[in-house]
Amino acid sequence: MLEQTDGSYDNPFKFNAKELDDDTGLYYYGARYYNPRLSIWYGVDPLAEKFPSWSPYNYTFDNPVNYIDPDGRAPEWIRGTDGKKVTYKKNSDGSLTWSKNVTADTKRIGNSLARTNEGMNRLNSASNAKHEVEFKINKKKDDSKAFGYTEPEYKLNKEAGKYELSKMKIVIFEGTLKTKSKEVSESKGLLWSAEALEYGKLHDNGDVDGMISATAAHEIWHATDAKNIEDARYNANNEGKKGFKKRETEAAPESSEYKVLKQLNKK
């Protein structure tokens, strides 16, 4: 006997990839419930008293496009040498004054990012991240010819019974930047991308920190943008499976990188 089906699947994970409770019609966010019909939270943020300048009913500091809050726990930001938040203040001359717990690599990357508007935007997004962001500069050349990479770290949330993002480690390969930008500079006749040519200009000006800032802007996008993080994890978990279609994750980071390069070379 043949049976006709519509081939549909009622996925319970819907808005913001949160589970919809069929009985209540509410989305479960780990620490509280959200009513999608009325657009309100049932209960205040569990850490509301630590952020008195924000409404206790806000979600991700009113910026759900860039940030996520999987379980209601505290945000991490950029961590310093003592495990506490690194802070900075932009001075009237455009320079930054850092807290004493800043690492040498974070300070160097941050100061280079502060030279451009796009770079400063990316630094602020790292500072406001909902998870820890760690910066490292590797002075060696990477064999893969990559300028940098972002490595996620997930930890098991035993209460929720799943792994959640806890940290993003950003590594910049200074040696590779120097080598590749020199190659571009000395090979004027070859057909290079517009982005590569901008790196070549920075090499001609001896601006290694400028190169670092452009690559850092690219990697910070990978490390802080909620959709980019989600899509990258989807690709990693599903690559090789039947019907897998890779999600695009490079366009926005490359655009940010190019903006920094252009802003640096206009000065």
**Are 161 and 220 within one domain?**
yes
Structure tokens at 195: 């982005």
Choose one of 33, 49, 71: the last residue of a domain: 71
For tokens 């990479």, what's the residue? 149
Does residue 123 lie within any of the structural domains? Answer: yes
Residue 121 lies in a domain: yes
Same domain, residue pair 100 and 230: yes
Domain-terminating residue out of 71, 87, 115: 71
Whether residue 136 is found in the same domain as residue 259: yes
Q: How far apart (Å, rounded) are the C-alpha atoms in residues 1 and 15?
A: 38
If asked whether residues 28 and 132 sit together in one domain, one would say no
Q: Write out pLDDT tens, residues 109-162.
A: 999 999 999 999 999 999 988 889 999 999 877 666 789 999 999 888 777 788
CA distance 129 to 124: 9
* Number of independent structural domains in the chain: 2
Does residue 130 share a domain with residue 115?
A: yes
Range with top average pLDDT, 9-13, 129-133, 189-193: 129-133
In this prediction the pTM is 0.71
Residue-level pLDDT at 49:
65
Residues 87 and 41 in one domain: no
State residue 173's pLDDT score. Answer: 95
Q: Are residues 145 and 94 in the same domain?
A: yes
Lowest mean pLDDT among 102-106, 144-148, 184-188: 144-148
Domain contains 2: no
pLDDT, position 262: 97
User: Is 3 a member of any domain?
Assistant: no
Whole-number pLDDT of residue 81 = 83
Local structure of 172: helix, strand or coil: strand
Model confidence over 199-224: pLDDT tens digits? 999 999 999 999 999 999 999 999 99
Q: What are phi and psi of 36, to 5 degrees?
A: -70, -25
CB 29, CB 160: distance < 8 Å: no
User: Residue 225 CB: number of other CB atoms within 10 A?
Assistant: 21
Asked whether residue 126 is domain-assigned, the answer is yes
pLDDT of residue 43 exceeding 90: no
Q: Give the phi and the psi of residue 122 in degrees, each rounded to 5.
A: -70, -40
Q: Residue 64's pLDDT band (boundaries 50, 70, 90)? A: low
CB 220 within 8 A of CB 169: no
Is residue 248 domain-resident?
yes
Is 258 domain-assigned?
Answer: yes
In a domain, 19, yes or no: yes
- Report the range of poorest mean pLDDT among 39-53, 92-106, 149-163, 216-230: 39-53
Q: Report the run of H or E that residue 97 belongs to, with start and end.
A: strand 96-98
Residue 85 DSSP code: B
Contacting residues for 224 by C-beta, under 8 A, at least 6 apart: 66, 122, 125, 126, 129, 133, 168
**Same domain for 88 and 61?**
no
* Cα separations in angstroms, 247 against 126, 207, 225, 233: 23, 34, 14, 10
Q: Which range of residues forms the domain containing residue 27?
A: 8-71
The domain boundary residue, chosen from 71, 89, 114: 71
Q: What is the pLDDT of residue 77?
A: 64
Highest mean pLDDT, choosing among 73-87, 133-147, 244-258: 244-258
